[in-house]
Amino acid sequence: HAGFETAAGPGYGIALSVDDGARGELDPCFHWDQESLGKYLSTQGESMSHVVTNLKPSTTMPAMVDHTKPEGAQAAADLGAYLASLKTGATSSAPDQSLAQTGGAHFHKLGCAACHTKPSADEPDFDHKRIPLNNVATKFKGGTLISFLKNPQQHHEAIKMPNFRLNDEEAKSLAAYLTKESTGNHTPDPSEFPPGDAARGKELSASLNCAACHEGLEKATTSAPKLADFKDWNSKGCLGPDEKRGKAPRLNLTAEEKAALTPLVVPELKFDTVEAYATRQVESLRCASCHTHDGKADLLAAVHGETKSLIAHIEGHDERLDQSRPPLTHMGAMLNTPFFESMLLGTADPRPRPWLDMRMPAFPLHAKDLAAGLARQHGLGKAEPGKEKPAADQVKLGEQLAAMTGYACVTCHAQNDKPALAAFEVQGINFGEVHKRLRPDYYHQWMFNPARMVPNTKMPRYTNPDDGTGLRTDLLEGDAQKQFEAIRAYLQSLQK
């Protein structure tokens, strides 16, 4: 069921036939040999309690076997032996621990605390469902963590971990910090479980239909009953009590989530909209951990202080330009479709806010539908920047209004290669990038009253609150709409 995502099947689970043992949620397994891996997996069947409470509180991976029974422990050991046998490729070098301090600084600057607790943290953050990192050192073998950080989607296209487009130095130093500080207190000891048999594990993988969610495995030899055939989901099977669950997996669901899964929802599953898709993905991908959304503060604002000590050695770090991140609330109404997609794909060049320590990571699988869905939530379809050539007289007026003798926009905004004149505390988007980014309607709403769109913005208001006229009454008869349209023509003329 792919954790209530919009699709399941190949590509939506972790690819298990990969090089270097670099896997997503299964990475805890691959630092052991076949026998030890099977023993480790045997520990994971206890009502998912270990994984849920320590390794990954928010996991949607069900418990496929019951380790409390001898046959379940053996089955897990066999599966582990089979999965370990799929590794290919040579093991790369482990991270250089001398880079750990630099990596810790990157951890803070990139805002990793929005989704993760520190690797030295003893206990998970159950309230915010942040993913613990205290077992990273035991999850990744050799240099596989470096490879994973550089390309999280390589073996798991639908992984929620985004791609930060890290360079070699960033990936290596981050890996060094994570492995050095990882305490590993919650990694179970597999020594009490039986050795596994890879051949039996291969057969079991097929019978459990692991290939429904994971690539690189044997296809299923059986099929599950159709959901529509079940009349009472809570009496047996996945949602039933343990004594009536049979061979069905044990799901990591709350009582409320189980109650929501009823036969009545089956007919509705075939209907979906991009608006609903966007709502689900904003929650699933934890967008509100970094961005304010609909008036709710982002999580990072509350937890970022946990990692501030990691930059204490950097002199003058607190003297940077304002590090505020844009809110998500109006993003669908704000950005032209191609630019919005490029931000989510990680291909936007140049970065619109290069002064930020943080960077917008890429969510390649979701980019097009998420951009469309967030726009549709505002009742808008796709939009592209206009290609018409602006009138020369309008461009001249707009340039005059943007200059120091007008509204002094150039104080904070660069114009292509010409830097801003005095961006001491806050900097604005380069004017050469504005036309391809902003939809015209949003641009005018923003210009009329910036604080209405973004309450904590540093952008001044250039209209009279009483009658909406422009503050420069000597140009275009003080008509704010005409003044701002002239500035927009100037901005369009700057696009390369």
pLDDT (tens digit, 9 = 90+) per residue, 206-215?
988 898 888 8
Residue 255 domain-assigned?
no
Q: What percentage of residues in the chain have a pLDDT greater than 70?
A: 86
* Residue indicated by tokens 């979906």: 272
Residue 72 domain-assigned?
yes
Residues 157 and 305 in one domain: no
Distance CA 249, CA 3 (A): 13
Binned at pLDDT 50, 70 and 90, residue 190 comes out as low
Using DSSP's 3-state secondary structure scheme, residue 147 falls into helix
Residue 202 domain-assigned?
no
Q: What is the pLDDT of residue 321?
A: 85
Residues 104 and 175 in one domain: yes
Binned at pLDDT 50, 70 and 90, residue 55 comes out as confident
Of 364, 340, 363, which is closest to residue 352 (Cα–Cα)?
340
Residue 260 domain-assigned?
no
Q: What is the pLDDT of residue 72?
A: 86
Residues 409 and 340 in one domain: no
Contacts of 445 (CB under 8 A, 6+ apart): 452, 453
Q: What is the pLDDT of residue 45?
A: 40
Residues 61 and 167 in one domain: yes
Q: Which CATH number characterizes residue 61's domain? A: 1.10.760.10
Q: What is the pLDDT of residue 201?
A: 94
Residues 138 and 6 in one domain: yes
Residues 7 and 101 in one domain: yes
Task: Please give the average per-residue pLDDT across 422-432, as a whole number.
Answer: 92
Q: Which domain holds residue 370?
A: 274-376
Of 27, 84, 75, which is closest to residue 206 (Cα–Cα)?
75
| Structural tokens at position 224 | 């599950």
Residues 43 and 169 in one domain: yes
Residue 457 domain-assigned?
yes
Q: What is the pLDDT of residue 242?
A: 79
Residues 314 and 444 in one domain: no
Q: What is the pLDDT of residue 6?
A: 41
Q: Does the pLDDT value for residue 27 go beyond 50? A: no
Residues 349 and 480 in one domain: no
Higher per-residue pLDDT: 68 or 78:
78
Residues 356 and 477 in one domain: no
Residues 98 and 186 in one domain: yes
DSSP E strands, 5-71: none
Q: What is the pLDDT of residue 179?
A: 95
Please state, rounded to an integer, the average pLDDT across all residues of the chain: 86
Q: Does the pLDDT value for residue 11 go beyond 90? A: no
Residues 360 and 398 in one domain: no
Q: Does the pLDDT value for residue 185 go beyond 80? A: no
Task: Please give the average per-residue pLDDT across 106-114, as a whole number.
Answer: 98
Residue 360 domain-assigned?
yes
Q: What percentage of residues in the chain have a pLDDT greater than 90?
A: 60
Of 42, 39, 46, which is closest to residue 252 (Cα–Cα)?
46
Contacts of 97 (CB under 8 A, 6+ apart): 176, 179, 180
Q: What is the pLDDT of residue 283?
A: 96
| Stretch among 120-129, 147-156, 249-258 having the lowest mean pLDDT | 249-258
Number of separate domains in the chain: 3
